Amino acid sequence: MNRPSATQAIPRPEPALTDFLTAHQLAAPGESARWTPLAGGVSSDLWRVDLPGRSLCVKRALAKLKVAADWQAPVSRNAYEWAWMRFASRHRPDNVPGLLAHDPEAGLFAMAYLPPERYPMWKAQLLGGEVRVETAAAVGELLGSLHAASAGDAALAVEFATDDNFHALRVEPYLLATAVAHPTLSDTLQGLAERTATTHLALVHGDVSPKNILVGPSGPVLLDAECAWYGDPAFDLAFCATHLLLKSLVVSGRRDGLLRSAGVLAEAYLRCVDWEPRPALEARAAALLPALLLARVDGKSPVEYLTDERHRLFVRTVASALLRAPAPTVADALDAWTTALGARPGPGSDLPA
């Protein structure tokens, strides 16, 4: 579930959707229901369903993602997302939406609707200049605790042996597509892709992005676990930190807070690491960080808010340098980004040109 803004209501949803609600006793036959599509994601259709006295969300995976590039992905990921949310709800029930019903054959599930006035989207807060370091710390701790709870669990490793899904949703569109766009870095990026794909240590969410995190009254709420995979937990840490660094380019006057948030996120996460030596995980995360930064400019899913070519050039320059000379720790990678920002003052307050 993405936290989007509602768009025009669908007066007549597909029969399969209304049948899903009645089959699982979420709605009575013939009961009035208002279906409103929710925007913001590229991989699924999501609806808010308003029924008399209650609301819920219905999510269905798409076979072709809503991006310009040709990006196909198996709809079976909907079942893995449901399974990840069940896992997370056992360990951190306040940090995932309530689960209502699932139809794996149809690729559909229903969950609680979390109203934006109580559960604002972290991305909207950050882009609006509302940067709270304590939120980043809470996200890091939540992520680390879920990884720790899953590490070494042979049953979860079997249940989430979703290597094909993760390749289609993350390895190929982010790392391998970026390798094609940057031939001089191809060997490095392909090597990172291979190491990531063959590391199986904990249950990975795969899309820990501020757009998939709500800031709730009991802490952050994680959404959209379609990429769930028993693999390399360093991916989740690097993926989330990437978004904070990219936003430091465009959020006026809050650069220091965003950079500090990235550091605090990593520190809170690393305190939870007990399944392997911390330096080993941190080195993998530090190596993935510039690869994912570059992917958000030149991969199949570029971030929409880097509209200034000077920002994109800055990302390419710093990320390429870090890929050629990897930082040993996440803190070192963040320092390199911060130093580059300071060394490139621009004519505008947020343009490192």
pLDDT in tens, 65-123: 444 444 445 566 788 999 999 999 999 999 999 999 999 887 889 999 999 999 999 99
Residue 217 has pLDDT above 80, yes or no: yes
What rounded mean pLDDT belongs to the chain? 90
Question: What integer pLDDT is reported at residue 9 of this predicted model?
Answer: 43
- Tell me which architecture the domain covering 122-343 has in CATH: Alpha-Beta Complex (3.90)
> Mean pLDDT over residues 323-333, rounded?
97
Question: What integer pLDDT is reported at residue 350 of this predicted model?
Answer: 47
Residue 17 has pLDDT above 90, yes or no: no
Residue 44 has pLDDT above 90, yes or no: no
Residue-wise pLDDT for 176-189, tens only, equals 999 999 999 999 99
Query: pLDDT category, 344, cuts 50, 70, 90?
Result: low
> Mean pLDDT over residues 213-235, rounded?
96
Residue 331 has pLDDT above 80, yes or no: yes
**CATH code of the domain made up of 15-112:** 3.30.200.20
Burial category of 64 from C-beta neighbours within 10 Å (exposed 0-12, middle 13-18, buried 19 and up): exposed
Residue 2 has pLDDT above 50, yes or no: no
% pLDDT > 90, the chain = 76
Tokens of 181: 């766009």
Residues 297 and 306: their CA atoms lie apart, in Å, by 8
Question: What integer pLDDT is reported at residue 60 of this predicted model?
Answer: 83
For residues 163 and 76, the answer to whether their CB atoms sit within 8 Å is no
> Mean pLDDT over residues 36-56, rounded?
82
For residues 38 and 6, the answer to whether their CB atoms sit within 8 Å is yes
Question: Going by C-beta distance under 8 Å and a sequence separation of 6 or more, which residues neighbour residue 187?
Answer: none
Residues 89 and 82: their CA atoms lie apart, in Å, by 10
Residues 225 and 143: their CA atoms lie apart, in Å, by 12
The DSSP bridge pattern shows strands 202-204 and 229-231 to be antiparallel
Q: Which residue has the higher pLDDT, 333 or 69?
A: 333
Question: Going by C-beta distance under 8 Å and a sequence separation of 6 or more, which residues neighbour residue 194?
Answer: none
Question: What integer pLDDT is reported at residue 328 of this predicted model?
Answer: 97
Q: Which residue has the higher pLDDT, 198 or 106?
A: 198
Q: Which residue has the higher pLDDT, 106 or 175?
A: 175
Question: What integer pLDDT is reported at residue 30 of this predicted model?
Answer: 85
Please name the amino acid found at residue 164.
Answer: D
Q: Which residue has the higher pLDDT, 151 or 74?
A: 151
Closest residue by Cα to residue 290 from 311, 317, 310: 317
For residues 308 and 316, the answer to whether their CB atoms sit within 8 Å is no
Question: What integer pLDDT is reported at residue 127 of this predicted model?
Answer: 96
Residue 348 has pLDDT above 50, yes or no: no
- C-alpha Rg value of the chain to the nearest Å: 20
Distance of CA 71 to the CA centre of its chain: 17
> Mean pLDDT over residues 273-281, rounded?
98
Helix axis angle, 186-197 relative to 278-298, nearest 10°? Answer: 130
Residue-wise pLDDT for 287-326, tens only, equals 999 999 999 999 999 999 999 999 999 999 999 999 999 9
Coil, helix or strand at residue 110: strand
Question: Hey, where are the domains in the chain?
Answer: 15-112, 122-343
Question: What integer pLDDT is reported at residue 61 of this predicted model?
Answer: 75
Tokens of 203: 């249950």
Kindly report the pTM of this predicted structure: 0.89
DSSP-assigned states of every residue in 155-194: HHHHHT--HHHHIIIIIIIIIIHHHHH-GGGHHHHHHHHH
Q: Which residue has the higher pLDDT, 46 or 91?
A: 91
Write phi, then psi, for 339 (nearest 5 degrees): -65, -40
Instruction: Flag the least confident range among 149-153, 255-259, 339-343.
Output: 339-343
Length reported for the chain: 353
